[in-house]
Amino acid sequence: MIRPICKDREILQSPSRKAVKKDLRLARDLKDTLAAHSGCVGLAADMIGENVQMLVAEMMGVPVAMVSPVILMKKDPYVTEEGCLSHDHTSTVTRY
């Protein structure tokens, strides 16, 4: 189901909880919502109003769901400009 994009700062700034089995339905909603926004390459659950540790990212053209992901290593930082559907502007960010 395509969900509306959340722009509520309180929701977007709230900590997300680990995903549990009942949250797996969110993966389909995230994939559907991502597909509905041309040019978007990733979407986190809080962006559709759910404070759950889950996201969908396009990898080589395929949407991949990540449930309670953990960053294991960071190297080779780079600075880039990116936008977010939940904000009306772009930001300069450091990515790895």
Assess if residue 31 is contained within a domain.
Answer: yes
Assess if residue 27 is contained within a domain.
Answer: yes
Assess if residue 62 is contained within a domain.
Answer: yes
Q: How far apart are the first and last CA of the chain?
A: 31
Residue 48: domain span:
9-95
Assess if residue 75 is contained within a domain.
Answer: yes
Segment 14-55, tens digit of pLDDT: 999 999 999 999 999 999 999 999 989 999 999 999 999 999
Burial track 34-46 (b if 16+ CB lie within 10 A, e otherwise): beeeeebebbbbb
pTM over 0.95: no
| CATH label of the domain that carries residue 44 | 3.90.45.10
CA nearest neighbour of 46 among 62, 64, 23, 79:
23
- pLDDT of 88 above 90: no
Domain count, the chain: 1
